[in-house]
Structure formats: C-alpha cells, structure tokens
Amino acid sequence: MKKNSLNLVLFLLFNLSVIAQSYAPKAGAEGTTAIHRDSEDFTAWATGVTVVRGPQNITNPTGDVANFGVPENAIDKSNGQIVSLGDGGTAILTFENAISNNSGFDFAVFENSFSDTFLELAFVEVSSDGVNYFRFPSHSQTQTDTQVGGFGSVDPTYINNLAGKYRASYGTPFDLDDITDDALLDKNAITHVKLIDVIGTIDPTYATYDSYGNIVNDPYATPFGSSGFDLDAVGVINSASLSLNHISKNALALYPNPALTSFYVPKSGTVSIYSVSGRLIHEQVVNNKSIPVTIDQLISGVYIVKLSNETGVNTQRLIKK
C-alpha cells in the first residue's frame, strides 16, 4: 500500500474512533454532564408516580414481572431507594409545579448503577397534557455484534439522551431544547416525564431502537426481581412555577403596576409574562425602555413578569386590572 493511502486509512480510522466516542464521559471525569443529587441546581423533585412493570425476561412475557422496590421510592429526592421497571416497563412521574424550558438542562433522571459502566438505560419522554408524549432523540453507539451480558459493561461516551448513563447518586440531565417543537407540547409547562425501559437485547425480535434506528445494547438478560431500569428519582432544575413567594431579590420595577393595557420595564431585553402556575402567556422583545409591553389581551389577574438580558434575569409580580 502506498504511504499516502496508508495515511488516509489511518486518518479515517482515527476520526471514526473519535466520532464513536462523541458524548460526555462518566461522572467525575472532565467534561461530564452528570449532576450529583446534592447539587443546588435542583429546585424540586417528582411528587407523583405511576409504574407499569415489565417482565423479568422479555422472552417470557407472561412470566414473573419485576418486583423490586415500590413506586413511591421514585418520589422526592434521590436517596438510592428504587423501583425496578422490568423489560420494557414504564414509569410516569408528575410534579407539584411544571418543568420549564430554560437555558441549559431542565431536569435529570437518577438510576442506581453500582459502577460507571453497568448502565441499565431508559428512553425519556415528556408531556404537557398527560396525553401526548414526545421522546428525546436518543443515540446509542454501543456495538451490536455481541450481546452485553447481564452484568456487562457499556461505555457512557457511547450514550446520549438515555436515562441511566451515570452511576448511582448522579443524574442524567435532559435539555428540552433537544425535542423538536410541536403544537401539542408546551415546553414551558411539562407536567409528565415518562421513562421506558430499554430492553437491551440485540435480538431484533425483542430489541428496542434509538432515534437513529440503532439497536440499543445494554445489560441483558437480567431475569431477577430487579430486572430492567431501576428508577431512583427525577430532579427538576428549571421549574415553571414562579410563585409569588419566590420573587427575585432583584425585583423588576414595572410601571404602572397595576396596569390596564400596557406597562414599561426599566431596561431593554426579552419580557416574558407567566401565569402564577408557570405557563408562558406572552413574550415580547423590548429594544428600548420607552417601548410599552402590551397586555390588553390578558384577562384581569396576577401575573409574573421576567426580564432577561445580557446582565441577567429580573422578576416581578404584575397585577392586570
């Protein structure tokens, strides 16, 4: 083989190897996205859960289902107490206040893996009405030639947008911006998070697939009561609730307030108006503080106004007459 051809082959192999490990590494490593359960990033935790358990082994769908833990273990802060979903099992988490789409990650899912490579994975979907669910675009680059055994290993750098990427006590975070916009999904009022166990087998009869059509290969079979994804908790990072009791210390000066048809803000930026339950009602870019924010379309009541610009975010309560 000529030297130039050999160099080209080596170049392609090198770049392919880089592409094949393109995602964040294990918890504690440089560049990880793992978030520890004690992080101040978390503002709330799931308050309700419904679990439908799957079989301990998908090849025996009428056999014993997963039975380790109780659903209520997935409520509140991550503490290592889990509920096992079984092969293809599901869990739907609900929240006292909806999750909103803000800058960066919006929530995180916790599993109880005992190591950085024993990764039992799950698809993640969200809904703002409890009826229409939308899945995060997942990607698994784990090879599919050989089955990952029941206690086998998965490299976290091969995994993206699948829950269970990180070991116990570390949440796998999700950014709602990753989901394509849809009229049936209000990203600023996510009320339900659904987890669907990745079965893990590479047998196409029972396999589950990522958003790119790849079989997702993870530890299989695990024919025990603790089969499948072991859900610990779901932590909220960005909450849609803008409670009247949690107005920013740097309160925004609105004039007039109460207001009838419009009001003014003291600085330029993006003005976002929310209901007190956290639903985005109106948004307007103000390039000059002399430009009014029009609210004649709003019904009388109390709202929360946020002004966002390069200097930060300010918040204040607004009364609409």
pLDDT digits (tens, 9 = 90+) for 60-95: 999 999 999 999 999 999 999 999 999 999 999 998
Q: Is residue 266 located within the same domain as residue 229?
A: no
Question: If you ran DSSP here, which 8-state letter would residue 46 be given?
Answer: -
Q: Is residue 206 located within the same domain as residue 256?
A: no
Task: Give the closest residue to 27 by CA, choosing from 144, 145, 164.
Answer: 164
Distance (Å, rounded) from C-alpha 16 to C-alpha 128?
Answer: 39
Q: Is residue 79 located within the same domain as residue 130?
A: yes
Assign residue 253 the CATH number of its domain: 2.60.40.3080
- Domain assignment present for 89: yes
Q: Is residue 46 located within the same domain as residue 166?
A: yes
- Domain assignment present for 127: yes
> How far, in Å, are 56, 95, 233 from residue 47 at the CA level?
27, 5, 10
Which of these ranges, 22-36, 75-89, 242-256, 270-284, has the smallest mean pLDDT? 242-256
Q: Is residue 103 located within the same domain as residue 182?
A: yes
Q: Is residue 149 located within the same domain as residue 113?
A: yes
- Domain assignment present for 215: yes
Whether 197 shows a pLDDT value over 70: the answer reads yes
Bond from prior residue into 258 cis (ω within 30 degrees of 0):
yes
In DSSP terms, 277 is beta-bridged to none
Q: Is residue 84 located within the same domain as residue 140?
A: yes
- Domain assignment present for 115: yes
Q: Is residue 217 located within the same domain as residue 273?
A: no
What is the predicted pLDDT for the residue at 289?
85
Q: Are 107 and 174 in contact (CB under 8 A)?
A: yes
Q: Is residue 85 located within the same domain as residue 230?
A: yes
For the entire predicted model, the pTM comes to 0.73
- 277, two tokens: 């339950």
| Highest-confidence segment of 20-24, 176-180, 315-319 | 176-180
Q: Is residue 231 located within the same domain as residue 300?
A: no
Domain span including residue 279: 244-320
Number of structural domains the chain divides into? 2
What is the predicted pLDDT for the residue at 204?
97
